[in-house]
Structure 1
């Protein structure tokens, strides 16, 4: 088998990840990292990369991909009136503070730990959604400004550590505070840009590249992976928005939770195997 043929399955997997990530980005308000990180993690390991390096590079590359995806998704949601700009402005600086903290963690901790964080967090979110179907929100309205700021900072930090755009966390938070599902999804898409852009740039320009990083990695971002996935996610995000507009809020939550369960179990199993 020649080298070009050997790369075909890798390229096909990257393209499939890009298509699915873009669809979910528009549908659920996530940046697509919930798909991209596990796929890149497995692909890099198949190339002989250590699990620790595979995870930090997958996380950082996912953030870079989320930048154009979030732009496409947020624009489409804004046209439909689903973005709460006042809420976005209140959360902006807290999100950025969390992003700076998260990038420091990613560049300093063992990547295997990030795998465990990824798996545990998404399973907790999925369990909350699946076990409380139709349950009333935890609050009838948004909490006081200090509480919102603390949550926004935590979302920024955890999102960078997980390589996601924040939709996984912010949709859950906002809907639990009685924000309508479609509005939570649309606003979260804009949060994704604020989280992904500075996070990816910091990891690209300031982080040290591991010795066993996959070819084409600058800092902690793998540029070939970005080049294959990003155009497809950008193209598919508006389609996800249109599809989401036809589904009820309850249906959106169920799709979100089932997918998170599958991904979380896979990543948690990998973490336990490597620990």
Structure 2
């Protein structure tokens, strides 16, 4: 195996380990690495969504094995997410996302701060209280922004936790629903970009996928063992850290 492909295996392993443990990071990390190597954003997002199908299945099954999945919640996320994913994938394939990505980052950064503040006031076993809100709306926006480089976990997991759901259930249910949405988005990207475009990065995608498949069961085990407050806090800190560069860029444009 070439050194570059070995590094992509490590990227996939690390990204999936983080994503499976705190419910976000795989898409953002993998897409960012591919874009940094010079790959066009739409092609990078398409490649990552192709890898999300098998890795998402492995992650979902691992979370199910450890009792982290609420299938009723997962089902309520899927259909709206598919609708949002079709719109999002078509948008990124046909239009620049220089304005959309900073706005999404601003939303996610604010959500991260709110989650951190809520975590600091975590006083009961239930964390944020009884579940509330509409998962369908969460799924819609999660699918929409996921196409822009990994918004599914940050939006869906964070919002579900904010709605009062136990972190491990929010993470497991979101991971269980993700491969279906990823498959739809990959098909939309293939339609607009052409299947030939995706085959040119096949070895890179396979290397990332291999690392992620190894990490999936490890991450599911960790999320079942770590305290909910710790997971929620990690979610908030990760959101803020990932989105600071885009937020700073947006502020610079406005000024």
The interval holding the TM-score normalised by the smaller chain is: 0.7 to 0.9
1:50-89 to 2 correspondence within 5 Å?
54-89=40-75
Normalising by structure 1, we get a TM-score of 0.79
- Do residues 28 (structure 1) and 22 (structure 2) align? yes
Deviates more, 1:107-116 or 1:194-203: 107-116
Q: 1:29 to 1:155 in 2, by over 3 A?
A: same
Unaligned runs of 5+ in 1: 210-215
| 1:170-204 Cα distance to aligned partner (Å, 9 max, x none) | 11121122111111111010121122111012212
Q: 1:150 to 1:259 in 2, by over 3 A?
A: closer
Q: Which residue of 1 aligns with 2:186?
A: 200
1:190 corresponds, among 176, 191, 194, to: 176
- Do residues 238 (structure 1) and 217 (structure 2) align? yes
Unaligned runs of 5+ in 2: none
Q: Is the 8 A contact 1:115 1:270 kept in 2?
A: no
Please give the alpha-carbon distance, in whole angstroms, between the structure 2 residues aligned to 1:61 and 1:132.
35
Alpha-carbon distance, 1:237 to partner: 1.1
Q: Which residue of 1 aligns with 2:143?
A: 156
2:34 corresponds, among 33, 40, 53, to: 40
Q: Is the 8 A contact 2:9 2:210 kept in 1?
A: no
Q: 1:116 to 1:222 in 2, by over 3 A?
A: farther
Normalising by structure 2, we get a TM-score of 0.84
Q: Is the 8 A contact 1:31 1:189 kept in 2?
A: no
**How large is the Cα RMSD of the aligned pairs?**
2.9
Deviates more, 1:108-117 or 1:149-158: 108-117
